[in-house]
Amino acid sequence: MVKMTKDGFVMLVMGFTGEAAMAFKEAYIAAFNAMAAYIALDQQTLLLRMHAQHAGRKHGGHRDRPAVPPDGGQKGRQRTSFG
3 falls within a domain: no
Q: Which residues form the domain of 49? A: 29-59
- The values of phi and psi at residue 70, to 5°, are -55, -30
The 10s digit of each residue's pLDDT in 44-74 is 888 888 888 877 766 555 555 555 555 555 5
Number of domains in the chain: 1
33 falls within a domain: yes
Q: What mean pLDDT value characterizes the chain?
A: 77
70 falls within a domain: no
- Cα separation, 60 vs 67, whole angstroms: 5
8 falls within a domain: no
The 10s digit of each residue's pLDDT in 6-38 is 889 888 988 999 999 999 999 999 999 998 888
- The DSSP H or E segment spanning 41 is helix 19-58
Q: Is the pTM of this model over 0.85?
A: no
